[in-house]
Amino acid sequence: MRKIIIIGGSAAGMTAAIAAAEQDPSAEVTVITSDRVPYRRPAVPALIAGYITEPSDIKVFSPETLKRHGVKLLCPAEVTNIDSKNKNISVKSNGKESKLLYDSAVIATGGLAKIPKIAGADKKGVCTFTTYESAAEIAEIAKNTDCAMVIGAGFIALEIAEALMHKGLDVYFNVRSRILRTLLEPDVSEMLMHKFEQQGLQMLTGQAISEIGGSDRVEYVIHKSNKLTTNLVVLGAGVNPNVALAKKCDIELGASGAIRVDNQMQTSAKDIYAAGDCTETLDLSTSKYTYSPVGSIGALAGRIAGRNAAGANLQTDGFLRAQADNILGAQIYSIGHSTTTAKNVNLQVEVHNLDAHQMGEQNRIAKPFEMGKLLTNREDKIVGAQLISKKHGSQFSWQLYRAVLTGENRKDFLGRFDSTRAKMVQALVDAKQSKVMIDNISVDTSFTLKLSKKP
């Protein structure tokens, strides 16, 4: 019987476990995680808002699903070492240490919250966002304060800000440059910041918070010499790959500092795979490895890692990042590269404004979407797309996704990008046929292409 151990209970880890069990039903699959209950990290804002009250409400997979696949769950427990030579894993649980033998393993240790270098960041009332415990702490403090400060730039930070506003707090949002910088073009970010301010989110830009003050607890923050009273500061500045275990076991890291894997999610250690926010992933459009901590990319990579750990021979040509969110009434879509991410992989791009041809529907849909962008490479092939809409944005986003996925010529795409009604049926067909994973809480989606057996 093949013994497979998954280290980490994130979306990547749990998906790897189910995929391994499906690939080899006779295998003994064990998930080891430090969490009390494995849950979906993107759901943390919903916990803060009070829509969800327990981590069990947002399990990656139900106990029934795990039982049906024969997946064992060991939690809370900590993996302290991997002996790749003798193929055993050291585990600490309930104060006791033990060793488990394995034939193959998957590392899915996820990411750790970034802690900005701000004076006073260690005070009580300064919270991160990556665990259920931190979300519960934010929700508890929010009960006894009327103002909060969120520091960050990405979707999760904005969702946390909206969740706190939902609870009736006045919320400041501090971003040094602009929101969603790696996902959107500057003018798109500026337009969104203006919209969010109209909704009541108080944007503090141009400079980072310089101090978090108070005795032992947060009492105020300093921004551009202005003192703002608050008892809650949320650090939502993203994550760093959690690679402590990999480094301890001499598993090779990539240029980004995350675990290096090949297109089968194999690490430098024999029979050890990795997936999720602790790894680099292969970018579809450039075939370069990048650090892209997106939950659904992690889950898709976890599927490959899990099946290969169970004896399959799958590989991927790369992952296409495609994210969507609905924040303060704005539907936001970002697919493929922005100018920021393109620069990181030395990809030269040109940005084009995207307008909708309204045709016969002009009277019914006066303005189908508020702003759109296409990014093309030197051959005028589409490598990125962005869209802001009040509603019905998904009718356009599927067309944009396919254009980026296939690297469609911009002029060819614009020639058929017209009526939402004329394209809706095809979009639904495409959606049904595509291999898509969607996180229902954060509406965070990603796609993979050409998943096949290695020749």
Tens-digit pLDDT profile for the chain (455 aa)? 999 999 998 889 999 999 999 999 999 999 999 887 666 666 677 778 777 666 556 566 677 888 899 999 999 999 999 999 999 999 999 889 999 999 999 999 999 999 999 999 999 999 998 777 888 899 999 999 999 999 999 999 999 999 999 999 999 999 999 999 999 999 999 999 999 999 999 999 999 999 999 999 999 999 999 999 999 999 998 899 999 999 999 999 999 999 999 999 999 999 999 999 999 999 998 999 999 999 879 999 999 999 999 999 999 999 999 999 999 999 999 999 999 999 999 999 999 999 865 433 444 445 678 999 999 999 999 999 999 999 888 888 989 999 999 999 999 999 888 555 545 545 555 555 555 443 333 333 344 444 444 44
Domain borders along the chain are 3-112+240-316, 115-237, 320-453
User: Distance (Å, rounded) from C-alpha 235 to C-alpha 196?
Assistant: 19
**Helix H or strand E segment including 346:** none
When the candidates are 3.60.21.10, 3.30.390.30, 3.90.1150.10, 3.40.605.10, the CATH number that belongs to 320-453 is 3.30.390.30
First and final C-alpha spacing in the chain: 26
Domains 115-237 and 320-453 share a fold: no
Apex 453 CA angle, 450 and 455, nearest 5: 110
Q: Going by DSSP bridges, is the β-strand pair 233-236/239-241 parallel, antiparallel, or unpaired?
A: unpaired
Handedness of CA 128, 80, 244, 283 (dihedral sign): negative
- Residue pair 237/225 in contact (Cβ under 8 Å)? The answer is no
Nearest to 171 by CA among 136, 208, 196, 135: 196
User: Distance (Å, rounded) from C-alpha 49 to C-alpha 82?
Assistant: 39
Rg (CA), the chain: 22
Q: How far is CA 113 from its chain centroid?
A: 13
- Residue pair 146/123 in contact (Cβ under 8 Å)? The answer is no
Decide: pTM greater than 0.85.
yes
Q: CB-side exposure of 16: number of CA atoms within 13 Å?
A: 37
Q: CB-side exposure of 115: number of CA atoms within 13 Å?
A: 10
- Reported CATH class of domain 115-237: alpha beta
How buried is residue 169: exposed, middle or buried, by Cβ count under 10 Å (0-12/13-18/19+)? middle
User: Distance (Å, rounded) from C-alpha 49 to C-alpha 162?
Assistant: 8
Q: Which two tokens stand for residue 336?
A: 């493929």
- β-partners of residue 409 are 381
How buried is residue 250: exposed, middle or buried, by Cβ count under 10 Å (0-12/13-18/19+)? exposed
Look at the chain and count its residues. 455
When the candidates are 3.90.1200.10, 3.50.50.60, 3.40.50.720, 3.30.420.40, the CATH number that belongs to 3-112+240-316 is 3.50.50.60
Q: How far are the Cα atoms of 131, 158, 202, 323 from residue 326, in angstroms, in the given order?
A: 22, 10, 18, 11
Q: Which two tokens stand for residue 234?
A: 């949320």
